[in-house]
Amino acid sequence: MEREVAWKKYDEAQLAEVDELAAAYIDFISQNKTERECAAAAIEQAEAVGYTSLEEAAREGRALKPGDKVWASAHGKAVILAHIGEEPLARGMNILGAHIDSPRLDIKQNPLYEKDGFALLDTHYYGGIKNYQWVALPLALHGVVAKTDGSVVQVVVGEDASDPVFCVSDLLPHLGRAQMEKTANKVIEGEDLDLLVGNRPLRAPGARPAGAGEAPLRSEAAQPSLHGTSPASAGLATGEAGCGVPHQQAEAEEKDPVKALVLRLLEEKYGIAEEDFLSAELEVVPAGRAREMGFDRSMVIGYGQDDRVCAYTSLVAQLALAEPGVPTPLRTAVTVLVDKEEIGSVGATGMESLFFENTIAEIMELAGEGGVLPLRRALSHSRMLSSDVSAGFDPAYASVFEAKNAAFLGRGLVFNKYMGARGKSGSNDASAEYMARIRRVMDDAQVTFQTAEIGKVDAGGGGTIAFIPARYGMDVIDSGVPVLSMHSPWEVTSKADIYEARRGYEVFLLNA
Count the alpha carbons within 13 Å of 131 in the hemisphere toward its beta carbon: 18
Using the predicted structure, report yes or no on whether residue 248 has a pLDDT greater than 80.
no
> What are the residues facing 156 on neighbouring strands?
142
The per-residue pLDDT for 429 is 87
Between residues 4 and 289, the one the model is more confident about: 289
Using the predicted structure, report yes or no on whether residue 508 has a pLDDT greater than 60.
yes
Whole-number mean pLDDT of the chain? 90
The per-residue pLDDT for 247 is 59
Q: Helix 12-31 to helix 35-48 angle, to the nearest 10 degrees?
A: 130
Using the predicted structure, report yes or no on whether residue 230 has a pLDDT greater than 70.
no
What radius of gyration, in Å, describes the C-alpha atoms of the chain? 25
Pair 313, 167: CB distance under 8 Å: no
Using the predicted structure, report yes or no on whether residue 254 has a pLDDT greater than 90.
no
Query: What 3-state class would DSSP assign to 165?
Result: coil
Give the pairing of strands 52-53 and 69-74. Answer: parallel
Over residues 164-193, mean pLDDT: 94
Count the alpha carbons within 13 Å of 72 in the hemisphere toward its beta carbon: 24
pTM above 0.85, yes or no: yes
Pair 89, 367: CB distance under 8 Å: yes
- 3 state SS for 28-72: HHHHCCCHHHHHHHHHHHHHHCCCEEHHHHHHHCCCCCCCCEEEE
Over residues 231-247, mean pLDDT: 44
The per-residue pLDDT for 427 is 79
Pair 162, 136: CB distance under 8 Å: no
Could you tell me the pLDDT band of residue 245, with boundaries at 50, 70 and 90?
Answer: low
Could you tell me the pLDDT band of residue 223, with boundaries at 50, 70 and 90?
Answer: very low
**pLDDT tens column, 16-69:** 999 999 999 999 999 999 999 999 999 999 999 999 999 999 999 999 999 999
Using the predicted structure, report yes or no on whether residue 348 has a pLDDT greater than 60.
yes
The per-residue pLDDT for 422 is 72
The per-residue pLDDT for 55 is 97
**pLDDT tens column, 148-173:** 999 999 999 999 999 999 999 999 99
Query: Tell me, what amino acid is at 100?
Result: I
Q: How far apart are CA 437 and CA 126, in angstroms?
A: 37
Query: What 3-state class would DSSP assign to 226?
Result: coil
The per-residue pLDDT for 26 is 98
> What are the residues facing 451 on neighbouring strands?
415
The per-residue pLDDT for 215 is 37
**pLDDT tens column, 301-310:** 999 999 899 9
